[in-house]
Each structure stands twice: as C-alpha cells, then as structure tokens.
C-alpha cells in the first residue's frame, strides 16, 4: 500500500504547475526577443498582456504550497520540494517580468535601423532559454548534473553581457544620434543578464532539493 | 552590473553570518557532556530478541527523542535505562549502559538508580491520594518526615512541572479530580520530587488533548536546563519541536541517530526518510 498517495499526487501536481509556468516564461522570452528583432509592436503588446497568466499561476502555486504545508506538515524531501516550488515560482515570475521589460524596450525603440545584429543579445537569449530548460528539468527529474551545467552556462552569459556592454557603449560614443535605441539595448543586455542570474537561483533550488545542502552557484 | 555585484556580496555576508551562527551552535552542542553511554545493547524476551546491538551516547541537559513504528523496541530501550525490564520474567540483557561512569547493570542498588533516573508514563498514573501526598510520596519513602522540608519539595516540584498555580489552592484534594493534562504534569512533579538527573518519558502526551500536549511540551523544553530527558514519542512533529537529538528505531535496531534538525531535514538513511515523511510501510 502506498501511504500518503494523495500528498504524493499533490506534490507532483505542484511540480507540473512549475513546469507549466516555466514554459509560459520561455514562451514570453522567445516572443519578446522576436518582437525586438522584427520591431513588431503588436507582439510586444501581447507579451505584456500575457504576463498576467504567469502572475496568476504564481499565485495559484503559492496558495497551493502554503495549504499543503499547513495540511501535511512536510519534512525532509517533501519540505524541500515545497520550499523549492515557492522559490522557483518567484524566480520564474521575475524572468517573465524581464520579458515584459524587453517588450517595453521594443515599443520604445519603435521602427528604426536595428543595431541588434552588432550585439550578443541573441546568444544571451538562446543560452538563457537553454539554462531555464535545464534548471526546470533538474528540479523535476532531480538531476544534479543539469543544475551544475546551468551555473556553467551562466558564466558564458556574463561574458556576452560584458562584451555587449562594450560594443554598445563604444557605438554610442561614435553615434550619439542612436542614443535612444542604444540605451534601450543596454537595458535589454542588463535584463538578460539578470534573467540568467534568476535561472541560476532556480538551479540552486533544484540542487537544494536533491542534495539537501544550500548551494551558491552565483559565486 | 553594480546592483548584481551588490546582490552577491550581500548574499556572501549573509552566508558568512549564517555560517558563524551555525558553527557557534555546533560548538555549544559539542561542549555538552555524555550522560548515558549505551554500548552494544542486546535484549531478549525469552527466545525473542527485541534489541540488536544498540549503541547511543545521550548528552547531558538535552532532550533525546526515540521514534519508530510500533514494536520497534523504543519503549523497551527506554525501560532498560532504569532497569524497568528487570520486572519482566525471562528478560536477558547483554551490553553496557553507563550512566555517570557507572555501569547500571553491575550495581545492586536499583532503588538508587530509579531515584536518579525517573520515569513518566503514557497515561497519568497518580495514586488515589491528595495532590500533596502524591508528590510527597517518594520523598517520604526516602525517609523525609520534616513537614517544612516536605512542603518545600512539593511546592518546588509542582512549580518545576508548571502546575503550581493551578493546584496550589487544592493540594489537599484528590489528585484524580484533575484533568488528564494536569494529572500528567503532577506525574512529572512526582518524578521531579525525587531530584533525579534523568527523566524518561514514554509517550507522555499521547493521552492528552492538544492544548495540554503543548503545555507538557513547553515544560519539557524548559526542564532540560536541569535534567537529561529521554522521550519516546509517536508524534514526529513533537520530536521535531522539543528534542535536540533523535534516534530512529526499526526492528530493534537504531537506524539513524543524529541532531533532530538533520533527521527531519536531511536524513541520511532512506528508511528514516520514508518514516519521517510518513511513507513507511
């Protein structure tokens, strides 16, 4: 007989909702970048509008997790799953907010001669999405190797971030007429760097669930 | 970038602080002396072996919880600590239990041992006498006759068991008129009256309502300043709340013995994990 089958199902349901939330934020990042690339304000507006779905899901997950803690008084691994879910949901919510910020930057840039190709922002976006997929998989499948890979990928994002900053500021000093677009791209550079930081925190939560130790991959 | 750098350094500072606090906590724990040292203890009820090679070091002024499913040997183990099992026919014990450097199975003075190691049972088992006489019973048996001295012991013991204020005006009435939770605290007072070093508790709150349970738990947490407490409990949250160390028993063996926070957050043995998360069976 499986004891606490109901509780087990609830924990799986929480994990499923986290994955669902993760997929929504990956989708938001993809769309936001696509809007930036094609200077498509319609898509940008859609990203802003759809952020409510992520916020609602975060609320739902938090309420569910709090109720489970009160009802089941979880300990050990069960407790770590719930703590992980609470921290990860807040991380994913922030990531979706960065997608919204990128969408807003897109609207501010408007229609102009795009300088996006001179930067590493696309690589940063691609790496961030890969990191988020790995971090979520690490949590749901309890795979520590994936969590460690996430922290390695973050170093690459940081590297691209520094390079992009140099490229954009150098360009800015030579082409002050492009200030509006360049400042917005500098912001996007910053948003993507922060996105990768939050994803690394998600990987830390996964590592905490798996190993029961607190990790700091950001160092 | 600057905010990111600040975030990280803040995290570092917090982690260093947390690390310092943890290591200080560890040092305090390590500083505590061993009170009861159990080495390779085996116990047989006739042919049937109930305890298998139990070794535990129970520290002074700590609460040690014994947890495990029914029939795992935790109550049997608890009773070996003041030789209550001597009263059962056909019990054979091998191994050593040393309390304060004295092997308790090599002494003939069991009365002295049970004075030093008191016990509180699952159900309140007060004598059909007044509250006062219940608490004074042990000291009187020890030969204390002086009324003032007895008054002092009764008051101190009832205060120690956090029940004085509730019973001070009815000391001369029957103890059996008290509520279950009050009776259990008078039982604790009766144990304290013998001035023991160690108090053994066998599921002391399992017959109590939740509020009385919390009162007894609070009492246990306060009592450890003066006593070494070993408690058997089926309530795992209770073990988590009140104990410093927890031993998980299974089929007469100690599967895991560690700081309580480790047992309930990161147990090392899968069987412990399955038990504390309620997936056992």
- Give the pLDDT confidence of B139-170 residue by residue, as tens digits: 999 999 999 999 999 999 999 999 999 999 99
* Residue B52, burial from CB neighbour count under 10 angstroms (0-12, 13-18, 19+): middle
What one-character-per-residue DSSP string does chain A give? --TTHHHHHHHHHHHHHHHHHHHHHHHHHHHHHHHHHHT-HHHHHHHHHHHHHHHHHHHHHHHHHHHHHHHH---HHHHHHHHHHHHHHHHHHHHHHHHHHHHHHHHHH-SS---GGGSSHHHHHHHHHHHHHHHHHHHHHT-HHHHHHHHHHHHHHHHHHHHHHHHHHHHHHH-GGGHHHHHHHHHHHHHHHHHHHHHHHHHHHHHHHHHSS---TT-
Mark yes or no for CB contact B281/A75 under 8 Å: no
Q: In what order do the strands lie in the sheet with B34-45?
A: B48-59, B34-45, B91-99, B102-103
- The mean pLDDT value for A65-75 works out to 92
Mark yes or no for CB contact B277/A75 under 8 Å: yes
Percent of chain A predicted with pLDDT > 90: 92
Q: With contacts defined as CB-CB under 8 Å, which chain A residues touch B11?
A: 216, 218
* Structure confidence at residue A5 (pLDDT): 86
Flag whether pLDDT at B272 surpasses 70.
Answer: yes
DSSP designation for B50: E
Mark yes or no for CB contact A75/B236 under 8 Å: yes
The answer to whether B13 faces chain A, any CB pair under 8 Å, is no
- The mean pLDDT value for B248-252 works out to 97
Flag whether pLDDT at A14 surpasses 50.
Answer: yes
Flag whether pLDDT at A64 surpasses 90.
Answer: yes
Contact residues, chain A to chain B, C-beta under 8 Å? 1-4, 7, 73-80, 161, 165, 190, 193-194, 197, 212-213, 216, 218-219
* Structure confidence at residue A214 (pLDDT): 87
Q: With contacts defined as CB-CB under 8 Å, which chain A residues touch B235?
A: none
The answer to whether B20 faces chain A, any CB pair under 8 Å, is no
Q: Which of B7, B240, B279 sits opposite A4 (nearest CB)?
A: B279
Q: Which of A3, A80, A219 sits opposite B279 (nearest CB)?
A: A3
Percent of chain B predicted with pLDDT > 70: 89
Mark yes or no for CB contact A76/B266 under 8 Å: yes
Picking from A12, A77, A163 by the largest number of B CB atoms within 10 A of its own CB, the best residue to mutate is A77
What angle (nearest 5°) sits at the alpha carbon of residue A55, between those of residues A52 and A61?
A: 140
Flag whether pLDDT at A103 surpasses 90.
Answer: yes
Q: Which of B7, B264, B281 sits opposite A76 (nearest CB)?
A: B264
* Structure confidence at residue A3 (pLDDT): 72
The answer to whether B4 faces chain A, any CB pair under 8 Å, is yes
- Domain formed by A5-211, architecture: Up-down Bundle (1.20)
* Structure confidence at residue B25 (pLDDT): 54
Size of interface A-B (CB pairs under 8 A): 47
Mark yes or no for CB contact A74/B277 under 8 Å: yes
**Distance between CA atoms of residues B93 and B51, nearest Å:** 9
Which positions ≥6 away from B187 have C-beta within 8 Å? B120, B121, B124, B125, B126
**Distance between CA atoms of residues B127 and B175, nearest Å:** 8
Flag whether pLDDT at B1 surpasses 50.
Answer: no
Flag whether pLDDT at A126 surpasses 80.
Answer: yes
Picking from A75, A80, A155 by the largest number of B CB atoms within 10 A of its own CB, the best residue to mutate is A75
Flag whether pLDDT at A138 surpasses 90.
Answer: yes
CA distance B35 to chain A (A): 29
End-to-end CA distance of chain A: 45
- The residue of chain B with its CA nearest to that of A197 is B4
* Structure confidence at residue A195 (pLDDT): 98
* Structure confidence at residue B13 (pLDDT): 54
Smallest Cα–Cα separation from B281: which of B45, B72, B74? B72
Binned at pLDDT 50, 70 and 90, residue B4 comes out as very low
- Give the pLDDT confidence of B73-113 residue by residue, as tens digits: 999 999 999 999 988 999 999 999 999 999 999 988 999 99
Flag whether pLDDT at B177 surpasses 50.
Answer: yes
- The residue of chain B with its CA nearest to that of A74 is B277
Assign domain B33-276 to a CATH class.
alpha beta
* Structure confidence at residue A216 (pLDDT): 87
Q: With contacts defined as CB-CB under 8 Å, which chain A residues touch B7?
A: 197
Flag whether pLDDT at B280 surpasses 90.
Answer: no
Flag whether pLDDT at B17 surpasses 70.
Answer: no
* Structure confidence at residue B14 (pLDDT): 57
Flag whether pLDDT at B31 surpasses 60.
Answer: yes
CA distance B268 to chain A (A): 10
* Structure confidence at residue B86 (pLDDT): 87
ipTM (interface predicted TM): 0.75
**Distance between CA atoms of residues A130 and A145, nearest Å:** 14
Binned at pLDDT 50, 70 and 90, residue B12 comes out as low
**Distance between CA atoms of residues A120 and A162, nearest Å:** 10
CA distance B232 to chain A (A): 19
What residue segments make up the domains of chain A, in order of their start? 5-211
Flag whether pLDDT at B32 surpasses 70.
Answer: yes
- Give the pLDDT confidence of A107-125 residue by residue, as tens digits: 999 999 999 999 999 999 9
* Structure confidence at residue B2 (pLDDT): 39
Of B210 and B31, the one with more pLDDT: B210
Of B28 and A49, the one with more pLDDT: A49
Strands B117-120 and B48-59: unpaired
* Structure confidence at residue B9 (pLDDT): 52
* Full-model pTM: 0.81
Which positions ≥6 away from B275 have C-beta within 8 Å? B67, B68, B69, B248, B250
What residue segments make up the domains of chain B, in order of their start? 33-276
Binned at pLDDT 50, 70 and 90, residue B18 comes out as low
Picking from B279, B280, B281 by the largest number of A CB atoms within 10 A of its own CB, the best residue to mutate is B279
In B, residues 233-262, which contact A (CB 8 Å cutoff)? 236-237, 240
Q: Which of A3, A190, A212 sits opposite B266 (nearest CB)?
A: A212
């Amino acid at each position: 007989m499986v004891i606490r089958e109901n509780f087990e199902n609830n924990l799986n349901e929480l994990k499923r909702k986290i994955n669902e939330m993760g997929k929504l934020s990956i989708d938001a990042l993809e769309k936001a970048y696509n809007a930036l690339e094609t200077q498509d304000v319609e898509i940008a507006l859609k990203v802003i509008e759809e952020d409510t779905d992520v916020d609602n899901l975060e609320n739902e997950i938090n309420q569910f997790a709090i109720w489970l803690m009160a009802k089941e008084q979880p300990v050990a691994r069960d407790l770590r799953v719930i703590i992980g879910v609470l921290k990860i949901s807040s991380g994913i919510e922030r990531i979706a907010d960065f997608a919204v910020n990128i969408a807003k930057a897109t609207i501010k840039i408007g229609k102009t001669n795009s300088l996006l190709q001179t930067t590493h922002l696309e690589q940063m976006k691609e790496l961030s999405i890969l990191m988020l997929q790995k971090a979520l998989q690490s949590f749901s499948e309890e795979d520590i190797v994936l969590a460690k890979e996430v922290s390695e990928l973050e170093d690459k994002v940081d590297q691209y971030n520094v390079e992009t900053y140099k490229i954009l500021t150098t360009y800015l000093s030579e082409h002050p007429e492009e200030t509006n677009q360049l400042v917005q791209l500098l912001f996007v550079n910053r948003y993507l760097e922060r996105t990768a930081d939050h994803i690394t925190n998600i990987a830390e939560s996964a590592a905490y669930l798996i190993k029961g130790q607190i990790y700091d991959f950001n160092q | 970038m600057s905010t990111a750098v600040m975030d990280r350094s803040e995290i570092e500072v917090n982690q260093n602080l947390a690390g310092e606090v943890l290591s200080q906590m560890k040092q305090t724990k390590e500083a505590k002396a061993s009170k009861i040292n159990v080495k390779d203890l085996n116990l047989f009820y006739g042919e049937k072996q109930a305890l298998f090679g139990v070794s535990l070091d129970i520290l002074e002024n700590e609460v040690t919880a014994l947890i495990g499913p029914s029939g795992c040997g935790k109550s049997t183990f608890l009773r070996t600590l003041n030789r209550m099992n001597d009263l059962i026919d056909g019990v054979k014990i091998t191994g050593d239990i040393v309390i304060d450097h004295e092997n308790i199975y090599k002494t003939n003075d069991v009365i002295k041992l049970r004075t030093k190691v008191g016990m509180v049972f699952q159900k309140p088992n007060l004598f059909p006498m007044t509250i006062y006489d219940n608490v004074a019973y042990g000291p009187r048996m020890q030969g204390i006759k002086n009324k003032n001295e007895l008054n002092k012991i009764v008051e101190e013991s009832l205060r120690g068991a956090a029940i004085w204020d509730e019973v001070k005006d009815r000391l001369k009435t029957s103890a059996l008129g008290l509520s279950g939770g009050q009776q259990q605290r008078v039982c604790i007072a009766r144990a304290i009256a013998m001035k023991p070093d160690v108090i053994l508790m066998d599921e002391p709150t399992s017959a109590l309502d939740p509020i009385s349970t919390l009162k007894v738990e609070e009492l246990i947490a306060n009592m450890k300043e003066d006593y070494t407490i070993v408690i058997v409990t089926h309530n795992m949250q209770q073990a988590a709340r009140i104990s410093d160390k927890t031993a998980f028993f299974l089929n007469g063996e100690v599967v895991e013995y560690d700081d309580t926070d480790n047992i309930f957050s990161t147990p090392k043995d899968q069987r412990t994990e399955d038990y504390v998360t309620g997936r056992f069976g």
